[in-house]
Structures are given as C-alpha cells and as structure tokens.
Amino acid sequence: MFSKKLLTLSISSILAMSASMAFANESAEGDKQASQEVRIGKKLATTNIVGEIQEPSIVKSTTDSKAQYSSSQTKENLDAQYKANISLDKSALNSEKQRSPQRLAKSASHLFIYDAAVLLKSDIDGDGYYSEIRVDFDVDASVAAYYDVYAELYIREQGTLQWTHYFTTDIFEIYFDDSGDDYHVTTSFNDGFPPGNYEIAIDLFEYGYSGTVDFLDATYDGDLGNLPIEDISFEQTQPDTNVSISTVKTEIFTDNDNDGYYQDFKISFDADVTSGQRDIVARLYQKTGNGTWQFETESAAYTIVGTNTDDTIAFEATWQSGYATSLYDFKIELYDSATNEFLASASNDFGPLVDVPLEDAGKDQTPGGSGSGGSGSSGNPSTSSSGSGGGSWNILGLLILAVAAWRRRQ
C-alpha cells in the first residue's frame, strides 16, 4: 500500500495500436478530397485512459447545434482496406515493443519507482475476474530536482515468460519525492485476455536518454501480481447476440482555415452476423473528453448478411453550428430494427472513433471570413493536463525538452 497519498492527473490518452490507425493524410489537388484524412482499424486489445474517469451518460443533442446527416449502405470492403494499409506499413508490423523475459536485480539510480498499486475496477458478471483495472505508480528522485520521465507498461499471464506491451505514458514531470506527480492509468480489456491471473511490469525511462532507469514488477511489489483479469467478451452480462462490429473507418474533410479541425466527416463500419442475416439500425453519439454522450442521428434500416464485406454502413455529416473546436469521440450502437433489441456497440475500443478533430462550419472560416475558428474556441479537448507536475507534450514541447535535457548534462 502507498504511504503517500496518490493524486490524480486529469490527463486523457487512448492507446493507438499501430501507426496504421493514425490519421493518414491523403492530400490531392482540386476538390473536397484535398483536405481528406483517413483512419481505419479493428478492435483494440486494450483501451487506456490516464487519470480517474467516470462513465458518461447519454443525452439528446443540444437544441442549439445544427448538422446535416445522411446514412447509406455501400459495397466498400473495409477489411480489404485495413489489410492493405497494414501490409504497406512495414514499420507498424515491426513496432511491437519487446521486454526481456526477466530482469536483473534493481540497481541504484537517481530516478526510481517509489511504489505502485492496482485497483480492480469492473467485474460486471461478479465471477471474480475484472475487465477494467487502474494502475497507480509514483516516481521519485534521489535529489531535489525536476526530471522528465515516461514509462512503458507490460502485462503477461502469471507463469508465462512473454510480456505484452500495452501502454506508453506521456512524458511527465516529477520533482524529488513530491506525491503530486503520481501517474494513474485505467485500462479496459477488450479482446485477447481469457480469464486468468496476470501480472504487470512498469519500465521507467528518463526522457532524452536511452535505457531503463528503473523497473517494478511483482517480484519487487506484490501488488502488481496475481491480478484476476478477463476481457469484456467473457463478462457474462454482455448482450448474447450474434452481431458484432469488425472494422471502423473515419474520414474527415474540409478544413478551410487550415487549423487541423474539420467540418465534414464520414464514419463507415462493417457489422457482421454469425449466421444468416439481420435487419439493423445504427445510432451515432459524440462527446468531448469526459463529457456526456450526445445522441446525433439514427440510420435507416439495413440488412447485414453473415460476414459479408460488401454491406458496409456509413454516416456522412456536415456540422453547421453549435459544435466547439475540439477532439471528439464517437460511439456506434446497433439495434434490431423490428424489436429495438440492443445488439452491439463500438466506441473507444476502436481507434478511428477516438480524438477526431472537428469544428462546425461557422468556426471553419478562411482569413477575413466570419466566425471564430481555431483551437482556442470553447470546448473540452480529449487530451489536456492540469494540477501539479503531470502533463502531456506536443511536438514543440518535446523539442524544447530535448534541448533542455542536453544542456543539463553538459
């Protein structure tokens, strides 16, 4: 147990499984597609959020927001596109971080992991195995100085040798033995974790330098071992349906002011049924940060057949007014069109539905136009920081850190 009080950082971050899921710029000359960016992916093995979270509720869209939505069913083969994207991205295929099966004894360092703990958060079916946990750890320094650090988190089933990397933290700042710079990572297990006892390892790095400065695992802290875990598919209270969502694709268009936030988007998904066919409707929701899910629109009724790849369903939208310049998360829910039975959903367990940069048309104005675009508009971005010590860095921040770290060692 901790002897110092753990404070929560209000930083949100979602694991991206590979570079293939990042928005890939597909610039072309001439038309709306010139500003298009695309992201496509399948279900993530884990979803990770930094800091404590609350499950958002669902409400109707606010009356002051205006948008144009349409839905359609196409023969677009998302599975083939995903596989082609992966095969072209050789770096993504080889980017899985490896951890040696065992470590030597811990050595003295100016930076160290003072303590760690695991909170078992969600056991929906009450069988003693949890599909959501939170890892808390506190990094300290042996001298009274500030340091920029980050950590890699790994998991493996107890009794096995192979570690699986599942999260890289942001770069965060710590000072001496301050308890206000503790780090918290909440993880939901989506796929690939059968019921069992697992253990977690944390490798610590100082930003700007190679090599691990410290590590912590169950050998040195029993709180990181013997963790009863299962992924969400093993939770017995999940809806017993034969429908699932296999692949999701998000496309964004039209950025008149070139601020990186778009007013038009298209979300496509491939839904499958294990046998036969089923008539479904899809509902789309959006939110920013830890905000409330806002219902946006419902599709027409469509028929999905087996695991066919030519029955893709798509939402297309233009946001006209009432939407802040921000990073948005989306959720898709599927229902039986005749009985309204809930069948399946997709949200932050699919990378393309997370952190989509959008704003309404009124804010997406070229210089001299009306409206107040730009990232300074109101709204809560999905990635933010506050409080003492912790934070995430953009590219400029990382460059500044690198220069500062180099000078400190001279």
Predicted structure pTM score? 0.68
Q: Which of 86, 69, 97 is nearest to 24 (CA)?
A: 86
State the CB neighbour count (10 A cutoff) for residue 276: 9
Name the burial class of residue 237, with classes exposed (0-12), middle (13-18) and buried (19+) by CB atoms within 10 angstroms of its CB.
Answer: exposed
Contacts for 217 with CB less than 8 Å, ≥ 6 apart: 103, 199, 200, 201, 202, 224, 225
For domain 19-44+55-89+240-358, give the CATH number. Answer: 2.60.40.10
Per-residue pLDDT of 144-192, as tens digits, reads: 999 999 999 999 999 999 999 999 999 999 999 998 889 999 999 999 9
289: pLDDT confidence band, cut at 50, 70 and 90? confident
366: pLDDT confidence band, cut at 50, 70 and 90? confident
Whole-angstrom distance, CA of residue 134 vs CA of residue 181: 16
Render 272-335 in DSSP notation, one character per residue. Answer: EESSSEEEEEEEEEEEETT--EEEEEEPPPEEEETT-SS-EEEEEEEEEES--SEEEEEEEEEE
409: pLDDT confidence band, cut at 50, 70 and 90? very low
How many CA atoms, within 13 angstroms, populate the side-chain half-sphere of residue 341? 12
Per-residue pLDDT of 223-257, as tens digits, reads: 999 999 999 989 876 566 899 999 999 999 999 99
Contacts for 40 with CB less than 8 Å, ≥ 6 apart: 20, 21, 78, 81, 82, 85, 247, 248, 249, 250, 352
